[in-house]
Amino acid sequence: MKKSLVVLLTIVILTTIVTGCSSKESDKLKIGVLIYKYDDTYISTVRQALEAESEKDPEVTLLMNDSQNDQSKQNDQIDILIEKGVDALVVNIVDIGAASAVIDKAKAADIPVVFFNREPDTEVLNTYEKARFVGTKPEEAGIIKREMMAEVWESGDYDRNGDGIMQYVMLKGDADNPEAIARTEYSVKTLNEKGIKTEEIGLQVANWDNEKANQAMESWLGKYEDKIEFVIANNDGMASGAISALQNAGYNKGDGGKYIPVFGVDATDEAKSLIEKGVMTGTVKQDGEGMAKAVYALVVNAAKGKDFLDGTDYEYDETGISVRIPYQPYK
């Protein structure tokens, strides 16, 4: 009898503990986070900063997902998260063209969604009152890069053929991404507006990828080595890939020898190190931590049923639905 009572009491205690823990977990807000791919260097800084914000907040659980650069996989992940009863979604979308379908899923479940970094069309976002975007102003990166490139061009001896024209190669993120399009266009367009003549020797869509950029740079060096005067990359990962190819060809060794200026975007730790070593020229800081804090503040507010900006210092831009994180030069 005594043994039976002890066993029964133990079961009751364990059940109470488990039930209590389960209750605490169920009281937490559940936010589904979808990252287009974990191994993107810049996006990984945003992801880690989001996780750091969550670790400080006992009221929130983040359900993290790596979409591995596959939109169909991301769509399935969203369906699963909605089935799990998440209170909100954070989406770093793989294919911007799929934003409408993602919004339809969120709307059908009546949960808010905050997109970040990869910006859907404003018209698409406006189809759902619980959809917002946090990101940069795309053309700003190109304009800041222009300032740095102009300074280097005007102060250095990089006009290899003495024709007064900056011959460059361009590494573009992807064909349809608004960030890639604006960074590509404005970095050159604003140089021309400043009175610097330019000539594009080569342009390669390298999908933000280090290895693809490396291959493109190797190919260009094989064809145009004596003509290339500047290398412009939409992100630091591609800039790093180009630098590896340049170093294999005897350039940018950091020893005062042959040098071709290389510019990127993101100010990753790797890029900062390359700049300090004198093998990369400059980059544009995209504040991953700042972006994560804004995303987190907006999505938690929305998950609680509050206004997205409630209690924050953030403001919408002229669209009325987007929060912008400013870029900064790094050289």
Question: Following DSSP, what letter does each residue of 196-257 receive, concatenated?
Answer: -EEEEEEEEE-TT-HHHHHHHHHHHHHHHTTT--EEEESSHHHHHHHHHHHHHTT---SSSS
CB 234 within 8 A of CB 265: yes
- pLDDT grade for 5, boundaries at 50, 70 and 90: low
pLDDT at 6 over 60: no
Element (H, E) at 290: helix 288-303
Domains defined along the chain, listed by start = 28-135+288-330 (3.40.50.2300), 138-285 (3.40.50.2300)
The percent of residues in the chain predicted with pLDDT above 70, rounded, is: 92
Q: Give the single-character DSSP code of 187.
A: H
Residue with tokens 């140089």: 191
Assign 157 to helix, strand or coil: coil
Backbone angles phi, psi at 286, to 5 degrees: -105, 115
Give the model's pLDDT for residue 21. Answer: 45
67 CB-contact burial (10 Å; exposed 0-12 / middle 13-18 / buried 19+): buried
Q: How many residues does the chain have?
A: 331
Q: Please state, rounded to an integer, the average pLDDT across all residues of the chain.
A: 92
Beginning with the edge strand found earlier in the chain, give each strand of the sheet holding 197-205 in spatial order: 197-205, 165-172, 230-233, 262-263
178 — pLDDT class (breaks 50, 70, 90): confident
Identify the CA nearest to 166 among candidates 188, 181, 193, 147.
188
Mean pLDDT across the stretch 100-115?
98
pLDDT grade, residue 188 (50/70/90)? very high
Residue type, position 60, single letter: V
DSSP SS3 for 101? helix
Question: For residue 22, what pLDDT is reported?
Answer: 43
The pair of structure tokens assigned to 137 is: 């102003």
Using one digit for the tens of pLDDT, what is the confidence trace for 135-167?
A: 998 889 989 998 999 999 998 789 999 999 999
pLDDT tens figures, 20-55: 444 445 689 999 999 999 998 899 999 999 999 999
Cβ distance 273 to 304 under 8 Å? Answer: no
Using one digit for the tens of pLDDT, what is the confidence trace for 275-325? 999 999 999 998 999 999 999 999 999 999 999 999 999 999 999 999 999
